[in-house]
Amino acid sequence: MPEGLSPIEVGRELHEHTKEPHEPGGGTRHSRMVQIGEALLLSLVTIAAAWSGYAAAKWGTESRIELAQAATLRNLATRADLSALSTRNFDSSTFNAWFTAYTLDDTNKQAIAKRRFRPEYKLAFDAWIATDPFTNPKAPPGPSYMPQYQLADQAKADALDREAAEVSAAGNHAGEVGDDYIRITVFLAAVLFLVGIGSTFKLHTIRYALIGIGSLLLLLATVLLLQQPGIPG
């Protein structure tokens, strides 16, 4: 596990505890109780650390995938936006050609310019003409200001931008969840440290105290684990 809790190290720690020599008199029973407590604590830490490390790795992968998808969606949105801009420029050029012919009162050139209109733009143009723009001061400035003027590529770009924002937010959240799992692993590493240094003490009172502190940390880590979302599908 990248977080630093290795089951091999924990197993070695358990093996070292089993080799502890018996103390004379009543010390043997206390030694066995300490060893059992430490072994149980180490076993639970191993399971919790394995789960936390696996979850952190999965959520980290999920975050990278979603952020990469968000970047791809933004690239597609940019391409659609550029395509919409190109279409808008084409519509403007055809309208300018028609308007020039209109100012020259050349009906033949007006007809030629209209034939260059895209079908979608022609719909907006006809709606604009219906507002009597040359005598009505409240008429829109041009066909592109009409509600009938719709650009499919622009709508696609806007939809892709929204989707990219959602996917990016999900990727950031996945990264935060992965960080939370790593922080939980730090608590578990502290438990392993306490149990490890406990074996260096001969006084059972100190070892019991360290087991108690380690148990509280393990309980805290367990509560935090239960509050986290599960493994991403």
* Cα angle, residue 146 at apex, residues 144 and 150 outer, rounded to 5°: 65
* 82-91, 175-184, 188-197, 219-228, range with the lowest pLDDT: 188-197
Rounded Cα–Cα distance for residues 112 and 89 (Å): 18
Average pLDDT on 12-24 reads: 48
Average pLDDT on 71-98 reads: 96
What pLDDT is attached to residue 30? 64
Is 133 within the bounds of a domain?
no
Q: What does the buried/exposed string (b/e) look like for 114-143 if buried means 16 or more CB atoms within 10 Å of the residue's CB?
A: beebeeebbbbbeebeeeeeeeeeebbebb
Average pLDDT on 147-172 reads: 95
Q: Using the predicted structure, report yes or no on whether residue 88 has a pLDDT greater than 90.
A: yes
What pLDDT is attached to residue 8? 46
Is 86 within the bounds of a domain?
yes
Rounded Cα–Cα distance for residues 187 and 222 (Å): 10
Is 53 within the bounds of a domain?
yes
Is 160 within the bounds of a domain?
yes
Structure tokens at 66: 């979603």
* 7-16, 69-78, 107-116, 197-206, range with the lowest pLDDT: 7-16
Q: Using the predicted structure, report yes or no on whether residue 45 has a pLDDT greater than 90.
A: no
Number of neighbouring beta carbons within 10 Å of residue 205:
9
State whether residue 201 is helix, strand or coil: coil
* 154-168, 171-185, 201-215, range with the lowest pLDDT: 201-215
Is 141 within the bounds of a domain?
no
233 Cβ partners below 8 Å, 6+ apart? none
Single-letter amino acid, residue 198: G
Structure tokens at 49: 């650390």
Give how many domains the chain has, as a whole number: 1
- Mean pLDDT (the chain) is 85
Hey, what's the torsion of the CAs at 77, 83, 86, 92, to 10 degrees? -90
pLDDT, tens only, 121-139: 999 999 999 999 999 999 9
Is 48 within the bounds of a domain?
yes
Sign (positive or negative) of CA dihedral 165, 167, 168, 173: positive
Q: Using the predicted structure, report yes or no on whether residue 3 has a pLDDT greater than 60.
A: no
Percent of the chain at pLDDT exceeding 90: 57
Is 126 within the bounds of a domain?
no
Is 96 within the bounds of a domain?
no
CA nearest neighbour of 49 among 184, 233, 211:
184
What pLDDT is attached to residue 4? 47
What pLDDT is attached to residue 75? 97
Q: How many CA atoms lie within 13 A of 204 on its CB side?
A: 15
Domain boundaries, position 20: 7-90+148-227
Rounded Cα–Cα distance for residues 139 and 134 (Å): 8
pTM, 2 dp: 0.70
